[in-house]
Amino acid sequence: MLVSAWVPISTALPASEVPKLAPQQEQFKDYKLGLFIHFGAYSTPTGKAIDFNPVDFNAHSWVATARSAGARYITFTSKHHEGFCLFDSRLTDFTSAHMTAKKDLVGELAAECHRQEMPLFIYYSPLDYHQPDFNRDWPAYLRYWHGQLRELATNYGELAGFWLDVGPSPRPLKYQMYEAAQLLHELQPGCLVMAFDFYETERSLRQLGFFNREGQDVYFPMPAPSPEAYPWEVCDTINDSWGYNPKDTNHKSSNELIRHLVQVVGRGGNLLLNSGPMPSGQFQPEHIERLKAVGAWMKRNGEAIYGTRPLGAPVPEWGLAVSKGNHVYLHVLNWPGNELVLKGLTRQVKSVSLYQRGPLEFVQKDEVLTIQMPDSARDSVDTIVALTTDK
């Protein structure tokens, strides 16, 4: 499917004007949680590519870690702003395959993702502080980075998508991002390209972003939650750093991460949760602990997360409401007291219960549902109320 059929985004579309989504986009909206992996020369103590040698890198373990968190896809940095490639490229020797590590990490990870049926998105930064043509011959550099996209899209089998990240630059640059997306869609007809097939936001839930045709960031306010909205994700970190930083010990608790996930899902997005592996190639123990805790929660409560869509009713103060088929799940993040009120519900409610627990008393009048909430129902992380409706 070519980019022209995906409705390439050159201006932001409000939810009411979003065209019918492709199956891949609907599937992306079902995933809800992904694992972002930032790894590269910046992960080493020196920050130098010559010192990048992850002797304990194990692709099987990486995918298993993602699965343990309940993640449904992985996004991996094939090349970040410093220009060091973690794949085998014919266009440069500044790669992990040619230098000390002698490993094609993208290749190993892609092969393992195929074995374990884990969708893989490839992150690639067109910004490049190392490639000489970046500063001296822009047409030559455009051929270089589009050439590397061609390598990534042809050498590693079917990929779920590509995550293009322009990054900060000392001068305005015209990356020909639209042409890059066209190339990727031609080579990988089923792939999604970030900023063209789904929106993105970093940490904040206040706005979403995409690229204009030249590759500059464009932002617009976060739209109201809608089941028909264009797909989007928010990328965020377990601590405060994208790449490994031993001085950054500000690791968020698993409960914080779960509540963040619920807030994102309730608004209609995916959470792409980042961990930067240590120089050895292993994940930090603190991050593995938190990812497993998130995964354990998802194993118990995933029915109220995966595959859901925002209900479309006004967002209440107590939390968020999502639906799937004839089920509605109310995620209560702020305790409302003895009564939980949901306004704007156009469906007829047949039953109400605490998720995987006992029934709750309720009254429905017109489009207002009032549920009695005993204090014993309260969960410190997320109190989930399940509704069965007529449609």
Query: Is 143 in contact with 151 (CB distance < 8 Å)?
Result: no
CB atoms inside a 10 Å sphere around CB 60: 13
pLDDT tens string 74-100: 999 999 999 999 999 999 999 999 999
Domains of the chain, with CATH numbers?
3-304 (3.20.20.80), 311-389 (2.60.40.1180)
Amino acid identity for residue 152 in this structure: L
Give the residue-averaged pLDDT of 33-55: 98
pLDDT exceeds cutoff 50 at 25: yes
pLDDT exceeds cutoff 70 at 2: no
Distance of CA 30 to the CA centre of its chain: 11
pLDDT tens string 147-194: 999 999 999 999 999 999 887 776 768 888 889 999 999 999 999 999
Q: How confident is the model at residue 17 (pLDDT cuts 50, 70, 90)?
A: low
Quote helix, strand, coil % in the chain, to nearest 5. 30, 25, 45
Give me the DSSP letters along 291-346: HHHHHHHHHHHGGGTTT-EE--SPPPTTEEEEEETTEEEEEE-S---SEEEEE---
Cα separation values, 209 from 204, 218, 285, Å: 11, 5, 33
Per-residue confidence (pLDDT) for residue 7, from 0 to 100: 43
